[in-house]
């Protein structure tokens, strides 16, 4: 039995859950999220907890059991507290500015500024840079859907990935970039 899948999901008082024909809808203080439960997996509500069950031990149902439980738990967490991903810009002349809560304008060493639009439910914030040479602004991606927040952060990082020689580019806060030794001069 899946150790993740059999764990019950505790539901806070401020969250309302409705389950209709395999569609789980979670409403909370931050918004509403809906997801269709895959396959033969069922979700039922027992008082202040949600229980995810599978009908048998077939391979497909076993693989979907823990996944479904995690997705529903992320929905509950998203509508109560939300999710954030932090990115930092490293490099001289690299900067970012928020034109609006959903639009980000970045200068990343290209001949043109890069403008990123956030999808529905995702917003951007800028935080002061972490002290250090060449470090630029920190970009905070916020939202209630963990999947969207992670994808938007990955898309921003992919615009200018950290390069291995000087470490310049966009990276997650706390990400470690393996550095390579550069060319040695003629002796």
pLDDT in tens, 114-124: 999 999 999 99
pLDDT for the residue 2: 64
pLDDT for the residue 185: 65
Q: How far is CA 164 from CA 72, 107, 167, in A?
A: 38, 20, 5
Rounded percentage of the chain residues whose pLDDT exceeds 90: 75
**Structure-derived torsion over alpha carbons of residues 109, 115, 120, 126, reported in degrees to the nearest 10:** 60
List 138's β-bridge partners, or say none: 88, 127
pLDDT for the residue 24: 95
Average pLDDT over residues 35-63: 91
Average pLDDT over residues 126-150: 88
pLDDT for the residue 75: 96
**Confidence grade of residue 1 (pLDDT, cut at 50, 70, 90):** low
CA distance 115 to 113: 6
Written as six digits, the tokens of 125 are: 């914030």
pLDDT for the residue 140: 96
Question: pTM of the entire structure?
Answer: 0.89
pLDDT for the residue 119: 94
**Confidence grade of residue 3 (pLDDT, cut at 50, 70, 90):** confident
Confirm if 20 and 85 have CB atoms less than 8 A apart.
no
Average pLDDT over residues 161-177: 92
Query: What is the enclosing helix (H) or strand (E) of 104?
Result: strand 103-107
Taking the mean position of all CA atoms in its chain, how far away is CA 38? 21
The pLDDT mean for the chain works out to 91
pLDDT for the residue 92: 87
């Amino acid at each position: 039995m899946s150790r993740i899948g059999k764990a019950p999901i505790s539901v806070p008082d401020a969250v309302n859950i409705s389950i209709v024909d395999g569609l789980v809808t979670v409403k909370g203080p931050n918004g509403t999220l809906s997801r269709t439960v895959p396959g033969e997996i069922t979700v039922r509500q027992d008082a202040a907890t949600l229980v995810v069950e599978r009908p048998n031990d077939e391979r497909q149902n076993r693989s979907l059991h823990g996944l479904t439980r995690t997705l529903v738990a992320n929905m509950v967490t998203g509508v109560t507290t939300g999710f954030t991903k932090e990115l930092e810009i490293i490099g001289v002349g690299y900067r970012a500015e928020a034109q609006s809560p959903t639009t980000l304008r970045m200068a990343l060493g290209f001949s043109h500024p890069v403008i990123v639009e956030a999808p529905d439910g995702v917003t951007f914030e800028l935080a002061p840079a972490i002290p250090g040479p060449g470090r630029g602004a920190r970009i905070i991606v916020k939202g209630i859907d963990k999947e969207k927040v992670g994808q938007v952060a990955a898309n921003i990082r992919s615009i200018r990935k950290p390069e291995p020689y000087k470490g310049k580019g966009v990276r997650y806060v706390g990400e470690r970039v393996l550095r390579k030794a550069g060319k040695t001069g003629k002796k």
